[in-house]
Amino acid sequence: MTDFYREHGAKLRNIIIFTIGGTKGIDILENLTKEIREFWPEFEGFITVYYEGIFSTYQDKGVSGINLPDVDFYWKGGIIAPEFRRETLSMCSPLFEKCIIYDGGARRYEIHEHVEEVLEFWEGIRERADQIDFTELLEEKIGYPLPVSYEDWIHYNHYEKIRPADTKWLYRQEQGYVESMKNITLKELADQRIGEFTDALKKYIL
């Protein structure tokens, strides 16, 4: 795009991007900004709107031993929109999905392939349930070590500029979710998720 603008004698002040993306994108855009300023010194930079937040990608197979490096998104080290945190933690299982938003490289645009992939993940979780430390998995997924103070929670999530009235309520909600997860096993969680898929989406797996 920048080559096209240069060939036509035009200039760019900003480039606006809307994306579902990860933390690595920040380094990429910063490097591109330096390159662009070599021929447009007045270029201000990229204005980037991340849907739902800025996510990290696994760099290994994770606590579960199943996740795909550089493909599956998760929260740790990212900046997650408070609204997305609240919505995710309003239900039992979404936090533990293979990819927290299923819009990364693992997503399939054929519904039956997507369903099969999700089922394969949860069946793998069920098989490994006795070997996976559920507390470690929860800490990995939620993005910080437990227990956590309000002040540390703010720091881990980069929420310093959000109104305290909002963050204090979200912190209480989130710690309530953590407490509720003490009453369920990983195998029960996997069985529940597999049942939901096989019951509601049976027509896609036949």
pLDDT digits (tens, 9 = 90+) for 71-124: 889 999 999 999 999 999 999 999 999 988 865 555 556 767 777 888 899 999
pLDDT digits (tens, 9 = 90+) for 146-200: 999 999 999 999 999 999 999 999 999 999 999 999 999 999 999 999 998 888 7
More confident residue, 159 or 68: 159
pTM of the predicted model, to two decimals?
Answer: 0.85
Mean pLDDT of 128-139: 96
Instruction: Please state, in angstroms and rounded to a whole number, the distance separating the CA atoms of residues 126 and 190.
Output: 5
pLDDT digits (tens, 9 = 90+) for 14-53: 999 998 888 888 999 999 999 999 999 999 999 999 989 9
* Residue-wise DSSP of 120-189: HHHHHHHHHGGGS-HHHHHHHHHTS-SS--HHHHHHHHT-TTS-HHHHHHHHHHHHHHHHHGGGS-HHHH
Under 8 Å CB-to-CB from 15, ≥6 apart: which residues? 1, 45, 46, 47
Residue with tokens 């999905």: 97
Q: Which long-range contacts (CB under 8 A, 24 or more apart) does 35-40 make?
A: 36/2, 36/12, 39/6, 40/11, 40/12
Instruction: Please state, in angstroms and rounded to a whole number, the distance separating the CA atoms of residues 139 and 145.
Output: 5
Instruction: Please state, in angstroms and rounded to a whole number, the distance separating the CA atoms of residues 103 and 205.
Output: 21
pLDDT digits (tens, 9 = 90+) for 3-15: 899 899 998 899 9
The predicted structure's pLDDT at residue 1: 87
